[in-house]
Amino acid sequence: METRTINANRIVVKVGTSSLIHPNGAVNLETFDQLAYTLSALNNQGKELILVSSGAIGVGLNKMHLKKRPTEIGAQQALAAIGQSELMTLFTQRFDHYLTDIAQVLLTHDIFDYPKSNKFAMDTFNCLLNDNVIPIVNENDTVATDELDHHTTFGDNDQLSAIVASHMNADLLIVLSDIDGFYDQNPKKFADANLISNVASINDDEFTIAGGAGSRFGTGGMHTKLIAAKRMIDEDRAMVLANGKDPRIIFDILAGKPVGTLFSKECMTHE
Ligand SMILES: Nc1ncnc2c1ncn2[C@@H]1O[C@H](COP(=O)(O)OP(=O)(O)O)[C@@H](O)[C@H]1O
Ligand SMILES: N[C@@H](CCC(=O)OP(=O)(O)O)C(=O)O
């Protein structure tokens, strides 16, 4: 059987809205629970973990009994503010159950561009990791609109997670989404799409099969995941894109099982 060599101690895990919220808009309690269980178990093993979690708007929509994400940026920001505290309440409950401490870290992409704020952010992360606390990161949606205003920019938590992985010198970025990995065409549109198990470099061809930015309203789609993956490859790190419907898949990824898509310059796959 095919296996992979994955040596990772410092790991950034990114989970998308699609994994945390059911298609009917309700909170996916199994995902929250299994994510907390998995990360707590790995934390107990001595791994250093940072969770980048989307879902503030999704949880906010559910809390306010709204079915559709509003188009107005201010309304989305208000929902993110409502949902973010609820999101952290959900995580606090589940992580408490597994006796694991967590912390909320809200960032904007540009924080890392300024030496002073970059240092403050890094010091915070390092103190939390030294104290065995799992930082849970989201973009600070009140002051940043790059995730929300897809008419002007296409930043999102996929890229934020890559920026965090890069600055925190993580070995591995795991991106959990609603899809089993990166396919040769969008599997939501083409039933005969094939999963690509290993990607060593990302060029125009890969971006073409990922579809345009924001292929699904309100998210970055596969495009932003590829930008994140490209950054990881260029920096000699690795990224695995896998299905987040059961976050215990992270155990399989770390055990070297060939799940999802591994983005890595080195060939880490063996027969
Ligand atoms: N080549 C491709 N392989 C896999 N998924 C693709 C591809 N092209 C486009 N997609 C779309 O990207 C989606 C995942 O991105 P997104 O909806 O932003 O998820 P998340 O909320 O987890 O960030 C998939 O559900 C799929 O519709
Ligand atoms: N920061 C916002 C938007 C995040 C977002 O849409 O991202 P994703 O689900 O990862 O594509 C939130 O937490 O809802």
Which whole number is the average pLDDT over 94-116?
93
Q: What digits encode the pLDDT tens for the residues 235-260?
A: 999 999 999 999 999 999 999 999 99
pLDDT of 152 reads: 38
Q: Whose CA is nearest to atom 4 of ligand 1?
A: 182
Distance, CA of 66 to CA of 29 (rounded, Å):
19
Which whole number is the average pLDDT over 61-78?
91
* Domains defined along the chain, listed by start: 3-270 (3.40.1160.10)
How far away, in angstroms, is 178 Cα from ligand 1 center?
Answer: 7
For residues 222 and 196, the answer to whether their CB atoms sit within 8 Å is no
pLDDT of 62 reads: 96
For residues 69 and 102, the answer to whether their CB atoms sit within 8 Å is no
Q: What is the mean pLDDT of the chain?
A: 90
pLDDT of 268 reads: 65
Instruction: Please choose, from the candidates 267, 52, 270, the residue with its C-alpha nearest in 3D space to the C-alpha of residue 170.
Output: 52
φ, ψ of residue 242 in degrees (nearest 5)? -145, 170
CB neighbourhood size of 46 (10 A): 8
Q: What digits encode the pLDDT tens for the residues 171-189?
A: 999 999 999 999 999 998 8
How far away, in angstroms, is 115 Cα from ligand 1 center?
Answer: 34
Query: Which atom belonging to ligand 1 lies closest to the Cα atom of 222?
Result: 12
How far away, in angstroms, is 222 Cα from ligand 1 center?
Answer: 4
Instruction: Please choose, from the candidates 162, 128, 107, 166, the residue with its C-alpha nearest in 3D space to the C-alpha of residue 43.
Output: 128
pTM equals 0.94
- What residues have CB less than 8 Å from 22, skipping those under 6 apart? 28
pLDDT of 218 reads: 45
Number of helices and strands (H, E) in the chain? 9, 12
DSSP 202-231: --HHHHHHT-STTSSTTS-HHHHHHHHHHH
Pick the residue with more confidence: 18 or 147? 18
Pick the residue with more confidence: 154 or 18? 18
pLDDT score of 102 more than 90 = yes
> Interface pTM (ipTM) of the complex?
0.97
Supply 184's token pair: 């040769």
pLDDT of 254 reads: 97
Q: Whose CA is nearest to atom 4 of ligand 2?
A: 54
pLDDT of 270 reads: 63
Query: Which atom belonging to ligand 2 lies closest to the Cα atom of 17?
Result: 9
Distance, CA of 109 to CA of 231 (rounded, Å):
14
pLDDT score of 215 more than 90 = no
How far away, in angstroms, is 221 Cα from ligand 1 center?
Answer: 5
pLDDT score of 155 more than 50 = no
Judged by DSSP in three states, 242 sits in strand
pLDDT of 175 reads: 98
How far away, in angstroms, is 1 Cα from ligand 2 center?
Answer: 36
CB neighbourhood size of 69 (10 A): 16
Angle between helices 56-63 and 73-97 (to 10 degrees): 100
Cite the annotated binding site for substrate by residue number.
54, 141, 157
pLDDT of 26 reads: 95
Question: Which of 216, 224, 225, 263 for a ligand 1 pocket mutation test, highest count of atoms within 8 Å of Cβ?
Answer: 216
pLDDT-derived band at 203 (thresholds 50, 70, 90) equals very high
pLDDT-derived band at 216 (thresholds 50, 70, 90) equals very low
pLDDT of 37 reads: 98
pLDDT of 148 reads: 55
Query: Which atom belonging to ligand 2 lies closest to the Cα atom of 15?
Result: 10
pLDDT-derived band at 118 (thresholds 50, 70, 90) equals very high
DSSP 98-111: TT--EEEEEE-GGG
pLDDT of 242 reads: 98
